[in-house]
Chain A
Amino acid sequence: MHKHRFFTVITGIFLALAFVLVVVQPTPLWAQETDTTVSGDAASRENKDDFDDDFDDFDDEDEEFVTISDPLEPINRGFFWFNDKLYFYLIKPVTRVYRVVPEKARVSVSNFFSNVFTPIRFANALVQLKFRDAGTELGRLLINSTIGIGGLFDPAKNIYGIRKKSEDFGQTLGHYGIGQGFYLVLPIFGPSSLRDGLGDAVDAYYLNPIYTLDLKDRDKYTLWALDQINALSLDRDTYEAIKRESLDPYVFVRDAYSQNRAGKVRK
């Protein structure tokens, strides 16, 4: 029961923050964003061809893109620094050792988790009334759980060409016109935003089988860590490249995060 309290508290904090923002703030924070991609008409745009949207930004040279507001920047930078150290002194060495596992096996681990997380994508597609995507997810679950031997392989994609549709509760909120709020860097978890942090908590608490099934706490954390380390082991040092190449990695990551999320909401 312990974990239930943990997630209730997290969800509660986010809900309280969201409430404060929506009700108390005279101009909601997302209204201050100049990024039009997460504006309210996102839903109405859904069925339109995104052709013109993608071309629109050619004439925007005068605009300054403020993709996400960051009122907590000093605190966020603190956690960014903390996560950076955590990464280089603990997570990266662990990942390096973990890479002794053959790549094929690691891809299977990744497939397995992805298959287990289907309820998150399915339910959120459904809530957004994207029935085709929900059907896709269901079909993938059936194919990959059977032919794909419990999700270890991805024949749905590799044989039938059915690709995963990334959906989560943060995107659902975005779909219904709720902006990202403001940027958050969470210790350990990394970049997030008010909206997506809340979204993640909701997904984890209600939809993620790892947390909803009656597992021991220790097993849950182990599975979570395995998923993270495994995903990182398949990545080719993206973070190192960002650190090496950008003039201000904090700003780069913040911007990349908000662009990526806004892009996913549009899809």
Chain B
Amino acid sequence: MKKITSTIVGILLILGLNAPIHAAAPTDQLKKSLDGVIDVLREQGLDREVRREKIRVLFRERFDFKVMSRRVLARNWKEATPDIQDRFVILFADLLEATYIGRIEEYSDERVDYIKERIKEKRAIINTMIVTKSVEIPINYKLTLTGDKWLVYDVVIEEVSLVRSFRSSYSEIVKKEGFEGLLAKMEDKAEELKSTDGKKKK
């Protein structure tokens, strides 16, 4: 009996290895990143800065900040000079990272359920549910295929899209204070988040 089982497993493995080379399913790729983050969060006795750096790496390789930036600025993106665009992408990535890491640390006891995956050409939507002891939060990830990598370009938490939320507030600031005003505000905020982070509890 044991032999049969191992033979079957062996066959499956070989079949798996011989499968045509294509991009892994978006859910698998996303799951790998999220599992990585959760593992880091659960790792005991890790220095705070080391842990953050690990999460940062995982976070950066799964998000497409350029696509996100373009979508956040929307109409304003085309009006911005390449220099402003570049500065925006860098600042936006910093801000999002600080936001994301700050939030994810609150949920270290979480479990992620993968509920549904839908793919349409080079885009995918993955519905997940963050399950903690006390609450369940639906989070949907929107991804695009770049090369063989599925990269996140929007996160929708309880129906609230990150990109759309940023878009509304940023476009108001651009309207009132121009790009330089927006970039200055983002710089201040990123600075503030970095400095208060260290002082936060724990």
Residue B159 is within 8 A (CB to CB) of chain A in the complex = yes
Contact A252 B74 (CB under 8 A): no
Q: Give the segment of A19-27, A51-59, A185-193 that binds chain B.
A: A51-59
B164: chain A residues at CB < 8 Å are 65, 67, 255, 259
Contact A255 B168 (CB under 8 A): yes
Contact B185 A262 (CB under 8 A): no
Measured between alpha carbons, how far is A262 from B135 in the docked complex, in Å? 22
Q: Give the segment of B21-29, B46-54, B98-106 that binds chain A.
A: B98-106
Which bracket fits the contact residues of A? 35 or more
Interface residues of A: mostly helix, strand, loop or mixed? helix
CB < 8 Å: which of A63, A66, A235, A259 contacts B165? A259
Measured between alpha carbons, how far is A246 from B193 in the docked complex, in Å? 10
The smallest C-beta distance from B126 to any residue of chain A, in angstroms, reads 11
CB < 8 Å: which of B95, B123, B165, B193 contacts A255? B165
Contact A264 B159 (CB under 8 A): yes
Q: Give the segment of B9-17, B80-88, B169-177 that binds chain A.
A: B169-177
Q: Give the segment of A5-13, A201-209, A236-244 that binds chain B.
A: A236-244
A64: chain B residues at CB < 8 Å are 74-75, 167, 171
Residue A256 is within 8 A (CB to CB) of chain B in the complex = yes
Contact A245 B134 (CB under 8 A): no
The smallest C-beta distance from B186 to any residue of chain A, in angstroms, reads 7
Contact B160 A260 (CB under 8 A): yes
Residue B60 is within 8 A (CB to CB) of chain A in the complex = no
Residue B111 is within 8 A (CB to CB) of chain A in the complex = no
Residue of A nearest to B124 (CB): A55
B196: chain A residues at CB < 8 Å are 244
A262: chain B residues at CB < 8 Å are 159
Interface residues of B: mostly helix, strand, loop or mixed? helix
Contact B193 A244 (CB under 8 A): yes
Residue A41 is within 8 A (CB to CB) of chain B in the complex = no
Q: Map CB proximity to A onto B158-202 as digits: 1 under 8 Å, 0 otherwise.
A: 111100110111111100000000000110010001001000000
Residue B71 is within 8 A (CB to CB) of chain A in the complex = yes
Residue A17 is within 8 A (CB to CB) of chain B in the complex = no
Which bracket fits the contact residues of B? 35 or more
Contact A247 B189 (CB under 8 A): yes
Residue of B nearest to A267 (CB): B159
Contact A255 B169 (CB under 8 A): yes
B193: chain A residues at CB < 8 Å are 244-245
Contact B169 A251 (CB under 8 A): yes
Measured between alpha carbons, how far is A101 from B98 in the docked complex, in Å? 31
The smallest C-beta distance from B92 to any residue of chain A, in angstroms, reads 12
Residue of B nearest to A68 (CB): B168
A52: chain B residues at CB < 8 Å are 120
Contact B189 A55 (CB under 8 A): no
A214: chain B residues at CB < 8 Å are none
Sorted nearest first, the 9 A-B pairs with minimum C-beta distance are A263-B159, A251-B169, A236-B106, A234-B134, A255-B168, A256-B160, A259-B160, A260-B159, A245-B99
Q: List 17 A-B contacts (CB under 8 A).
A: A51-B118, A51-B120, A61-B77, A107-B133, A244-B193, A245-B95, A245-B98, A245-B102, A245-B193, A247-B169, A247-B185, A248-B173, A251-B172, A252-B168, A256-B165, A259-B164, A263-B158
Residues of B within 8 A of A (CB): 70-71, 74-75, 77, 95, 98-99, 102-103, 106-107, 118, 120, 123, 125, 133-135, 158-161, 164-165, 167-173, 185-186, 189, 193, 196
